[in-house]
Amino acid sequence: MNNKKKPKYVTLNYISEITGYSRPTISRVINGHKYIKKETRDKIISVINELNYKPEWTARSLRTGKTNLIAIIFKDIANFFTTEVIASIQEVLSGKRKDIILFNTNFDKGLENEYLEVAISKRVDGIILASMGMANVQLINSIITKNEIPIVIIDNDIKDVNVDKVFHDNVVGAKILTEHLISHGHKRIAIISPSLRETSAIERIEGYKIALKNNSIEINEDYIKSIKFKEEKFFEKIKERISELFSYTQKPTAIFIASTNLAIGTLSYLKENNYKIPGDIALVSFDDHEFVNIMNPPLTTLKSINKEIGTVAANLLLKKIKGGAKKEAEVIKIGSKLIVRDSCGCNSKN
Amino acid sequence: MNNKKKPKYVTLNYISEITGYSRPTISRVINGHKYIKKETRDKIISVINELNYKPEWTARSLRTGKTNLIAIIFKDIANFFTTEVIASIQEVLSGKRKDIILFNTNFDKGLENEYLEVAISKRVDGIILASMGMANVQLINSIITKNEIPIVIIDNDIKDVNVDKVFHDNVVGAKILTEHLISHGHKRIAIISPSLRETSAIERIEGYKIALKNNSIEINEDYIKSIKFKEEKFFEKIKERISELFSYTQKPTAIFIASTNLAIGTLSYLKENNYKIPGDIALVSFDDHEFVNIMNPPLTTLKSINKEIGTVAANLLLKKIKGGAKKEAEVIKIGSKLIVRDSCGCNSKN
DNA sequence: TTGAAAGCGCTAACAG
DNA sequence: CTGTTAGCGCTTTCAA
């Protein structure tokens, strides 16, 4: 009986034994070095193909100190925004033969720091971080300066950290949307926003307030409602907040919805309660998506730039990986424009 | 000037020099072995914390032969189905300290095989594959038997491959939906489906045909329309197919839409052309999602089981990783039930 | 154009 | 309870 268990994987050493060439020579062939005799190369390649040799990436990484691995650490991987961003990052990176290791913090601040440490441990070449905005500043600084791993932050800002950043221009976007409602004659405009601790939400509220101020409309703090994404019974909570809005003697006549998930809940509540949109209440929403078109009514939003954010972030990261993490950090804000549909009162008879 | 460049990473060796203990002892502390003097452990741990030592995962993997890495290879990472599946897989795996390396084949058969080989090269502990159904059978068999890496296939079947599989019960689901349309009195029922080469699509069409046959309704091949997801101008193509449907002298009175992306395009076309739903044309759609509720009209669908598919697949993979990849393969079909809303004709006056 | 030697950072086996 | 030795599979000198 043959007890010599077949090895799970063919190694360089094995190829060396078979071909009679040394490991370095075979390594050179695999890595496409010059100065290999054509005959040698051909022989080795044919054996490699025959045995279906695949280099052990883990050993190679250990030796070279490069992993070709990019960590994507996101606060939520299952929503409309994130999905498109990840896909566009993936597209850029796969072209450069970088692989993605994906982490979902699920809105947990502790996990955010933990995954950053896992990323260090994995010796990733770079990190793209869509944070809750509360990651450990010291940790991030140390990753950049000591470990020299470049980081690009998207979505939510982390202050006091000299890192590349790519954001939606939230203030301007929110201002545009709010002003559009004002142009329809609305003065009692509410805003429904995700967690007030995220900078993207804070900035959207800021843009909303600026628009009101510029038009001499008083800010009513009761009109500012927020729901944390991670909250249980998320959709029910949205409905509670909106019913609060309608319980006031001075009811709002329009709502600025600061994200798509919120829009789904909001519309859902309004339909259940037979509110006419935009007749009873006008709406605008921040994020765009293919399906807002077929909502009832189609939502007036800002043009979607999710893919662009992913592409820009990935390219920025690649640039830093090539050029060294310590160079001056860039902050890129990507602007967007209004897409008018029906929910705001344009094109409508409701 | 001090030219001794500070190292990017603290190593075991360095900790060893500092503490005076040997590398194995430190390694044991890190890996929580018993039989370490409390004093030794405390000393070592304090130095580790102070220096913020993080084990090099690549070296550890090389030594142990385990990477704790799971490859997720999906044909499309940016749609409603996939997003939920990935999130639920992630949830299961992160609990077991497995990390995810994410690949998107983008409907490219060549890339599918390429990424499988990358996964081998990375020595992943397991693979979850949502394929186009055309992966290299030999390659997959060799991964299972030779490399002993467990694979779980979801979404589309790959024939002649003895691998664990988790699927939506497409035939039964499609049958239920079609029968529901029939129960409303429809006889001219069209189906709009993704690429006919994917088994999930084929099975849905099969279920549709079974329902028709069982009710003695003749199958009209003209009523079966398909659009490949990867097609350029995807939404325009959908609209073309639907307008074809309406160009027939025997126009269909109902459409079974076999996936959510298709539903968006279909609804969009019908609204543009002022068709009343379900009055002019009744609809049912396969996948469910939070937002089909607020579509106009809300879509009658099958209850969403995307999360369940991810959870079941991930647990199955974990089981095989633990118990050896060679055990008998399981095939799990997950059933679903009808969620009646308005698009089918229930609850409606249109 | 090729090979010998060394070592990346870690852990397993064995000895004590 | 701890240290010595060895080696995972690869690539990088350096020398020939």
pLDDT in tens, A290-301: 777 777 788 999
Q: What is the enclosing helix (H) or strand (E) of B171?
A: helix B170-183
Note whether A255 and A225 are within 8 A (CB).
no
Distance B59 CA to C11 C1' (A): 9
Residue B16 tokens, joined: 């060893």
Q: What is the enclosing helix (H) or strand (E) of A260?
A: helix A260-272
Give the Cα separation of A319 and A332 in Å (integer): 14
**For A166, phi and psi rounded to 5 degrees?**
-130, 120
Q: What is the pLDDT of residue A325?
A: 54
In this structure, the protein residues whose CB atom falls closer than 7 angstroms to any atom of nucleic acid strand D are A 7, 9, 11-13, 23-24, 27-28, 30-31, 55-56, 59-60, 62-64; B 20-25, 28, 34-41, 59, 62-63
Q: Are strands A151-154 and A126-130 parallel, antiparallel or unpaired?
A: parallel
CB pairs under 8 A between A and B: 142
In the predicted model, residues of chain B with pLDDT beneath 50 are: 1-5
pLDDT in tens, B294-344: 777 889 999 989 999 999 999 999 999 988 655 789 999 999 999 999 999
Test B87 with A99 for CB contact under 8 angstroms.
no
Q: What is the pLDDT of residue A1?
A: 30
Q: What is the enclosing helix (H) or strand (E) of A193?
A: strand A189-194
Test A54 with B79 for CB contact under 8 angstroms.
no
Min Cα distance B241 → chain A (Å) is: 18
Give the Cα separation of B134 and B286 in Å (integer): 23
The DSSP code for A124 is -
In the predicted model, residues of chain A with pLDDT beneath 50 are: 1-5
Select from B54, B78, B297 the Cβ nearest to the Cβ of A120. Answer: B54
* Residue B125: CA count within 13 A, CB half-sphere: 24
Burial of A339 (0-12, 13-18, 19+ CB in 10 A): middle
Give the Cα separation of B151 and B73 in Å (integer): 11
Min Cα distance A210 → chain B (Å) is: 31
Percentage of chain B lying above the pLDDT 70 cut: 96
Q: What is the pLDDT of residue B1?
A: 30
Give the Cα separation of A72 and A81 in Å (integer): 14
Note whether B226 and B252 are within 8 A (CB).
no
Chain A residues close to B79, C-beta within 8 Å:
83
Give me the numbers of helices (H) and strands (E) for chain B, helices first please: 12, 12
Q: What is the pLDDT of residue A6?
A: 60
Q: What is the pLDDT of residue B2?
A: 34
Give the Cα separation of A110 and A219 in Å (integer): 35
Q: What is the pLDDT of residue A172?
A: 97
pLDDT in tens, B258-306: 988 888 889 888 888 889 999 999 999 998 887 777 777 889 999 989 9
**For B160, phi and psi rounded to 5 degrees?**
60, 35
Give the Cα separation of A348 and A300 in Å (integer): 12
Beta bridge partner(s), residue B103: B73
> Diameter of chain A by CA atoms?
91
Give the Cα separation of B90 and B311 in Å (integer): 9
